[in-house]
């Protein structure tokens, strides 16, 4: 019988191995390894590296837009405001949290308090408002439904290639009762080579706009969970969007005169 190794763990013995040699440790790529090798190892371990990297890229772009690209201490308060619920997706934030954890264990003054503020921010203990959160999920659900309706209207507008972009925009706005920005997004999605996955594209756009959408194995299941929260939460005041076009002419889509370039 093999003797216990470090931490009392008995190494597994390969049947038929010479002299009962333990199973060799799995290969772990180093920082100097090629990106293909690192990604292949992550793929083999089932790590969702695509989702992690996309989240990192989005978080870093938002931080650079509002905070700047320099690292260092003192990033957490601003990052918590800019990134809100997705603050842990930033590698810079995680590095600072790890540094604070080391400082807190070494009894560095103020480190434990700063860590507690991060945790309180993540669980919403400082600004807990169930009614506001319920309304947030309700608006997120209605936003997904609107974007799906806009995508369907944009798909119907592809029937005639003779119409201009302005005419297609006006048609989508009239059919879906949406803004020009949403209509332009939907038309670009429909005109792209990969114009499928309308539901997935709508859920992704709602997340990018800052809404909280539950994570699931598929975007369809994420939407189903969002729908369940929005329709069953006792804190939601459900105001369905009106099907009647507003009488205020300012709210109607209209053509804007373009300047004449001489």
Q: Cα dist. 187→158, 191, 194, 239 in Å?
A: 8, 6, 12, 28
* Confidence (pLDDT) at 250: 38
Which of 56-65, 201-210, 250-259 shows the highest mean pLDDT?
201-210
Reply yes or no on whether the pLDDT at 112 is more than 80.
yes
Reply yes or no on whether the pLDDT at 212 is more than 60.
yes
pLDDT band for position 53 (cuts 50, 70, 90): very high
pLDDT band for position 23 (cuts 50, 70, 90): low
- How many other C-beta atoms can be found within 10 angstroms of the C-beta atom of residue 75? 20
pLDDT band for position 261 (cuts 50, 70, 90): very low
Least confident of 80-89, 174-183, 189-198, 242-251: 242-251
Instruction: Considering only residues 188 and 130, tell me which one the structure prediction assigns the higher pLDDT.
Output: 188
Distance (Å, rounded) from C-alpha 148 to C-alpha 74? 41
Distance (Å, rounded) from C-alpha 102 to C-alpha 116? 14
Average confidence score pLDDT of the chain? 76
* Confidence (pLDDT) at 140: 86
Mean pLDDT, rounded, for 205-233: 86
Mean pLDDT, rounded, for 202-207: 88
Instruction: Considering only residues 97 and 243, tell me which one the structure prediction assigns the higher pLDDT.
Output: 97
For the stretch 122-181, pLDDT in tens is 776 655 556 667 777 888 888 899 999 999 888 888 765 667 888 888 989 988 888 888
Reply yes or no on whether the pLDDT at 102 is more than 90.
yes
Which of 5-9, 231-235, 244-248 shows the highest mean pLDDT?
231-235
Which of 13-17, 68-72, 212-216 shows the highest mean pLDDT?
212-216
Taking the CA of residue 15 as centre, how many other CA atoms within 13 Å lie in the half-sphere pointing to its CB?
0
Mean pLDDT, rounded, for 199-227: 86
Q: Cα dist. 68→56, 72, 78, 105, 115 in Å?
A: 15, 11, 10, 29, 22
Distance (Å, rounded) from C-alpha 235 to C-alpha 7? 50
pLDDT band for position 49 (cuts 50, 70, 90): very high
Phi and psi, residue 13, nearest 5°: -105, 130
Q: Are residues 89 and 55 in contact, defined by beta-carbon separation less than 8 angstroms?
A: yes
Taking the CA of residue 233 as centre, how many other CA atoms within 13 Å lie in the half-sphere pointing to its CB?
21
Instruction: Considering only residues 234 and 193, tell me which one the structure prediction assigns the higher pLDDT.
Output: 234
Reply yes or no on whether the pLDDT at 252 is more than 60.
no
For the stretch 54-67, pLDDT in tens is 889 888 887 876 67
- DSSP character string of the chain: -PPP-GGGPPPPBPTT-GGGPBPPPPP---TTS-HHHHHHHHHHTT--HHHHHHHHHHHHHHHHHHT-S--STT-HHHHHHHHGGGGGG-HHHHHHHHHHHHHHHTT-TTHHHHHHHHHHHHHT-SS--HHHHHHHHHHHHHHHHHHHHHHHHHHHGGG-TTS-HHHHHHHHHHHHT--HHHHHHHHHHHHSS----HHHHHHHHHHHTT------SSHHHHHHHHHHHHHH-TT----PPPSSPPS-GGGS----PPPPP-
């Amino acid at each position: 019988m093999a003797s216990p190794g470090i931490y009392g763990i008995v190494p597994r013995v390969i049947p038929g191995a010479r002299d009962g040699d333990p199973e060799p440790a799995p290969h772990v790529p180093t920082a100097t390894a090629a990106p293909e090798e690192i990604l292949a190892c992550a793929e083999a371990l089932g790590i969702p590296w695509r989702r992690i990297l996309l989240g990192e890229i989005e978080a870093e772009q938002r931080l650079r837009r509002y905070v700047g690209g320099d690292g260092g201490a003192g990033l957490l308060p601003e990052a918590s405001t800019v990134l809100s619920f997705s603050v842990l997706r930033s590698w810079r934030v995680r590095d600072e949290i790890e540094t604070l954890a080391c400082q807190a264990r070494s009894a560095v003054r103020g480190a434990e308090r700063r860590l507690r503020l991060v945790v309180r921010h993540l669980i919403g203990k400082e600004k807990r408002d169930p009614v506001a959160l319920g309304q947030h999920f309700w608006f997120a659900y209605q936003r997904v439904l609107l974007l799906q309706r806009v995508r369907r209207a944009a798909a119907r507008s592809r029937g005639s290639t003779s119409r201009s972009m302005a005419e297609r925009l006006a048609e989508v706005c009239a059919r879906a009762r949406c803004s020009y920005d949403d209509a332009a997004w939907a038309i670009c999605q429909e005109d792209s080579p990969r114009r499928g996955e309308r539901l997935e594209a709508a859920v992704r756009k709602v997340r990018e706009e800052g809404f909280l959408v539950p994570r699931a194995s598929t975007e369809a299941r994420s939407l189903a969970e969002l729908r369940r929260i929005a329709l069953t939460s006792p804190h939601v005041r459900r105001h369905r969007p009106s099907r009647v076009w507003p009488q205020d002419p300012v709210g109607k889509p209209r053509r804007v005169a373009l300047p004449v370039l001489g």
